[in-house]
Chain A
Amino acid sequence: MIALPLPKADVLIRRDAVHAGLRVLLPEGCVITDPTRLKPYETDGLSAYRQMPLAVVLPETTEQVAAVLRFCHENGVRVVPRGAGTSLSGGALPLADAVVIGMMRMNQVIEVNYRDRYAVVRAGVTNLGITGAVEAEGFFYAPDPSSQLACMIGGNIGMNSGGAHCLKYGVTANNVLGVRLVTIEGEILELGGTHLDTAGYDWLGIVIGSEGQLGIATEITVRILRAPEGTRAMLAAFEGNEVAGACVAAIIGSGIIPVALEFMDRPAIHACEAFAHAGYPLDAEAMLIIEVEGSVAEQDWLLGQIKEICAGFNPISLKVSQSAEESAAIWKGRKGAFGAIGRISPDYLCMDGVIPTSTLPMVLRRIGEMSVQYGLQVANIFHAGDGNLHPLIMFDANDPASMHKAEAFGAEILCLCVEVGGCLTGEHGVGVENAI
């Protein structure tokens, strides 16, 4: 179970004074205190937990963020930074005595510089919005979490988010050059800039992934990259998790670094295929999505090499995408995985452990045993290139016993991840869920 601190009684008593104080600082319509309008903010992607906040503010400028933080600091009021609220670990979950600072109105792209390959955006710009602003010139912003349509760059900074392509391009921390950070005291700090290496201490490094613990990011300078000439995906289906895991190791050992290398087990394949009709192999125990990039000739050559490696692991089928539409369908299945599981089971816990790739078969076997033991279904999705494992545990939220079991199951998986040399969270953050 998660635990939240007792609200500060002295703050709750001053509720009206806090509301009035915030109204002075912000333009009309930027302070929300009415319970019906607060409702949408009571939870985030970890929707099993809900809590109405003291107030929600929607600042429009860095200066307004600074004014709100200074006010909260002077009055001993807690704050919860919030982007799109897609955190899967409860990172943006409100507290009863806290002001939620929602960044969605700071959604402007300020500057794009193709010559020096960076873009300056406000924290409320969505992840996909950055790529949207530069793709006409053939550029993109690399980290691509599956939630990229909704999640915001400020939230990505909070969680150091990654995506399917981080094997080659890295996570948020590897793609951010500068952050304008407002401290709890209302000071505005310029961390990094538009250059690659910063001198002195690596403040960007400690702030990115700090889950809103150190300050609020209002403006972010990201690297933008020129998109490759083309990309192509292939599907490789196997009879078991072991051989699929061994095949991943063999591909990486061969010196080929695909841009993406994703693993799904049987329950995940079935759920996603029902949702995306991507032609996933329903007879397989395990499937790999492998993507390469470059010119058509380069893609052909790389896929040829990879096919040859896969052939050594007795595959059930190997299918190379023949068109952009087919590749898109393949990814639609993978990126829609959480939604697809949601269609099977309205309630599920999405875990986010990281394990050394070589331990995958063993970890999946243990998770399978736990699944039997707890009597709960689980589907596994794995960013095989970097060891990030997402077991999706299905349960029934209307049954407290089922929910309890799901949480115990999840905790046992995370202990297993640490035990085999991995860690608690790869990209979703610690939040409230893993703080214990």
Chain B
Amino acid sequence: MIAPDDEAGIAAAICAAVANREPLSVEGLGSKSGFLRPVQTARTLSTCNLTGIPLYAPQELVVSARAGTTLATLEATLAEAGQHLIAEPPDYAFLDAPAQTIGGIVATNLSGPRRIAWGAMRDHLLGMRAVTGRGEVIRSGGRVLKNVTGLDLCKLFAGSYGTLGVMTEVTLKVLPKPEATGTVLLWGLHPEEAVRAMSIALGSPYSVSGAAYLPQEAAMVMGYERPSTIVRVEDFADSVTYRLDRLATLLGRFGTVEILDTAASLSLWRAVRDAEPLPIQPDDAVWRVSVRPSCGTSVLRAGQSAGLFGYLDWGGGLVFLNGPPTGEAHAAVVDAARHANGAWWLLRAPESLRRARDAVPHEAAALAAIRQRVVAAFDPAGILNPGRMFAA
């Protein structure tokens, strides 16, 4: 494992790898090394020693962190000024390491429940520094909220799983933490009713910032007795009180409404964010599916028919599923996602399944050809995380 403590060291390691034609696994702290397809390399290049926060300007809503800075460190720094990461990045219960780096979060573009209202990690990535597979340092974007100077390479790097270059520093937009959080809870709905209720809430003028549905098994993991539909608002305290009241009225026709206060809401939504409602066994596979909200139920049901457990976030638009890592289960998830014209990720599975199957949807031929050229434009020697996203 090579873990340089500066950008020049990362560049030198990549140049050496190119010269020796020796591919590298790229990681931060390795918490998500089990995501997508397995990478087989003799050496690993880690950003974990690139730490520090070179810029934080709370009054401009912007922070820059070196890629290896842990999520916990970054969040603690922001919290001192009463701010937070807008996309609410998850700290999944099934990660392979106790800590995550901010570089890894951006590289996998993982966002939490707030994504439905406030955007994904990729939406808040204002700028970055990276070393490409050519060993060259590039910058894209900047520290300002708006920027369309040239092609937006930041977006291409967000979610690229370290296959284009190694990000060494990221600059993110941040926002003030809301003063209060509240939740409207409905008991016992069927998935279709739940999605309808969430759709009404998200289509209301009350700035809903989270909408999730926990079917029976997921609810039980959380200590509830019945399926739970939950809708969140976050803002100044008086606003939260007012909007919870309006939402309770609006959703009253779906049954008895319960209201959760800030403390109860914070812990519940943290669990939803971190996929805690999944009853995961050690060898289970985990899938994440993004569809339009009204299709979430069909993906959930298809998973359940294949013996999987799951729950819905993003008003139905994000489905988490877990269960035995069989080819049949995988095919059921993929078919359902494809049927709904959605996207899916095989987030965790034993190597055998990850090696044998696609981990993300494959593209149409014309797009795949462009993709190969774009990847080669950054990493012509195929040195960085080869095969991580698509089989070679």
Q: Is there a contact between chains A and B in the complex with CB atoms less than 8 Å apart?
A: yes
Instruction: Please report A residues at the B interface, Cβ cutoff 8 Å.
Output: 113-118, 138-139, 159-160, 162, 166-167, 170-171, 173-174, 183, 185, 187-191, 193-206, 208-210, 213, 226-229, 249-250, 252-253, 255-257, 294-295, 297-298, 301-302, 354-358, 383, 385-388, 421-430, 434
- The answer to whether A227 touches B366, judged by C-beta atoms less than 8 angstroms apart, is no
- The answer to whether B371 touches A200, judged by C-beta atoms less than 8 angstroms apart, is yes
Known contacts A198-B343, A206-B151, A356 near B143 by CB under 8 Å: yes
Report A285 CB to chain B, min CB distance, Å.
21
Determine whether B57 belongs to the interface, using a CB cutoff of 8 Å to chain A: yes
How far apart sit A115 and B292, CA to CA, in the bound complex (Å)?
10
* Residues of the B chain whose Cβ atoms lie less than 8 Å from the Cβ of A209: 148, 151-152
Closest residue on chain B to residue A205 by CB atoms? B155
- The answer to whether B291 touches A199, judged by C-beta atoms less than 8 angstroms apart, is no
- The answer to whether A199 touches B345, judged by C-beta atoms less than 8 angstroms apart, is yes
Report A226 CB to chain B, min CB distance, Å.
5
How far apart sit A171 and B123, CA to CA, in the bound complex (Å)?
9
Known contacts A115-B199, A197-B120, A356-B143, A294 near B148 by CB under 8 Å: no
- The answer to whether A196 touches B207, judged by C-beta atoms less than 8 angstroms apart, is no
* Residues of the A chain whose Cβ atoms lie less than 8 Å from the Cβ of B141: 423
Determine whether B205 belongs to the interface, using a CB cutoff of 8 Å to chain A: yes
- The answer to whether B292 touches A195, judged by C-beta atoms less than 8 angstroms apart, is yes
Known contacts A194-B292, A206-B152, A189 near B144 by CB under 8 Å: no
- Label chain A's interface by main secondary structure: loop
- The answer to whether A421 touches B341, judged by C-beta atoms less than 8 angstroms apart, is no
* Residues of the A chain whose Cβ atoms lie less than 8 Å from the Cβ of B155: 173, 202, 204-206, 208
Q: Which of B60, B144, B341, B367 contacts A252 (CB 8 A)?
A: B60
Report B150 CB to chain A, min CB distance, Å.
6
Determine whether B221 belongs to the interface, using a CB cutoff of 8 Å to chain A: no
Contact with A along B373-385 (1 / 0, CB 8 A): 0100000000000
* Residues of the B chain whose Cβ atoms lie less than 8 Å from the Cβ of A204: 155
- The answer to whether A423 touches B147, judged by C-beta atoms less than 8 angstroms apart, is yes
Closest residue on chain A to residue B110 by CB atoms? A197
- The answer to whether B149 touches A200, judged by C-beta atoms less than 8 angstroms apart, is no
The 7 closest A-B CB pairs, nearest first, are: A205-B155, A255-B176, A386-B145, A199-B343, A187-B366, A426-B146, A199-B360
Determine whether B318 belongs to the interface, using a CB cutoff of 8 Å to chain A: yes
Determine whether B111 belongs to the interface, using a CB cutoff of 8 Å to chain A: yes
Closest residue on chain A to residue B178 by CB atoms? A255
* Residues of the B chain whose Cβ atoms lie less than 8 Å from the Cβ of A302: 236
How far apart sit A434 and B151, CA to CA, in the bound complex (Å)?
14
* Residues of the A chain whose Cβ atoms lie less than 8 Å from the Cβ of B59: 249-250, 252-253, 357-358
Chain B interface extent, by class? 35 or more
Contact with A along B109-128 (1 / 0, CB 8 A): 10100011001101100000
- The answer to whether A387 touches B179, judged by C-beta atoms less than 8 angstroms apart, is no
Determine whether B17 belongs to the interface, using a CB cutoff of 8 Å to chain A: no
- Excluding A199-B361, A226-B203, A249-B60, 15 further A-B contacts by CB distance (< 8 Å) are A117-B293, A160-B152, A191-B367, A198-B159, A201-B371, A209-B151, A210-B151, A252-B60, A354-B147, A356-B144, A358-B59, A358-B60, A386-B144, A387-B144, A387-B146
Closest residue on chain B to residue A210 by CB atoms? B151
How far apart sit A427 and B148, CA to CA, in the bound complex (Å)?
6
* Residues of the A chain whose Cβ atoms lie less than 8 Å from the Cβ of B390: 200
How far apart sit A436 and B120, CA to CA, in the bound complex (Å)?
33
Known contacts A189-B367, A195-B291, A171 near B146 by CB under 8 Å: yes
How far apart sit A435 and B35, CA to CA, in the bound complex (Å)?
40
* Residues of the A chain whose Cβ atoms lie less than 8 Å from the Cβ of B8: none
- The answer to whether A255 touches B179, judged by C-beta atoms less than 8 angstroms apart, is yes
Instruction: Please report B residues at the A interface, Cβ cutoff 8 Å.
Output: 57-62, 82, 109, 111, 115-116, 119-120, 122-123, 141-156, 158-160, 175-177, 179, 196, 199, 202-205, 207, 236, 238-239, 242, 290-294, 314, 317-318, 341-345, 360-361, 363-364, 366-367, 370-371, 374, 389-390
Report B275 CB to chain A, min CB distance, Å.
15
Report A323 CB to chain B, min CB distance, Å.
20
- The answer to whether A354 touches B144, judged by C-beta atoms less than 8 angstroms apart, is yes
- The answer to whether A116 touches B290, judged by C-beta atoms less than 8 angstroms apart, is no
- The answer to whether A423 touches B142, judged by C-beta atoms less than 8 angstroms apart, is yes
- The answer to whether B205 touches A229, judged by C-beta atoms less than 8 angstroms apart, is yes
- The answer to whether B122 touches A205, judged by C-beta atoms less than 8 angstroms apart, is yes
Q: Which of B111, B149, B154 contacts A423 (CB 8 A)?
A: B149
Report A349 CB to chain B, min CB distance, Å.
18
Closest residue on chain B to residue A297 by CB atoms? B242
- The answer to whether B290 touches A195, judged by C-beta atoms less than 8 angstroms apart, is yes
- The answer to whether A252 touches B293, judged by C-beta atoms less than 8 angstroms apart, is no
* Residues of the B chain whose Cβ atoms lie less than 8 Å from the Cβ of A118: 292
Known contacts A190-B364, A201-B156, A202-B156, A383 near B146 by CB under 8 Å: yes
Q: Which of B115, B123, B147, B160 contacts A201 (CB 8 A)?
A: B160
* Residues of the B chain whose Cβ atoms lie less than 8 Å from the Cβ of A194: 292, 341
How far apart sit A179 and B290, CA to CA, in the bound complex (Å)?
17
* Residues of the B chain whose Cβ atoms lie less than 8 Å from the Cβ of A383: 146
* Residues of the A chain whose Cβ atoms lie less than 8 Å from the Cβ of B61: 252
Closest residue on chain B to residue A162 by CB atoms? B146
Closest residue on chain A to residue B195 by CB atoms? A115
- The answer to whether B290 touches A427, judged by C-beta atoms less than 8 angstroms apart, is no
How far apart sit A354 and B145, CA to CA, in the bound complex (Å)?
8
How far apart sit A210 and B142, CA to CA, in the bound complex (Å)?
17
Report A383 CB to chain B, min CB distance, Å.
7
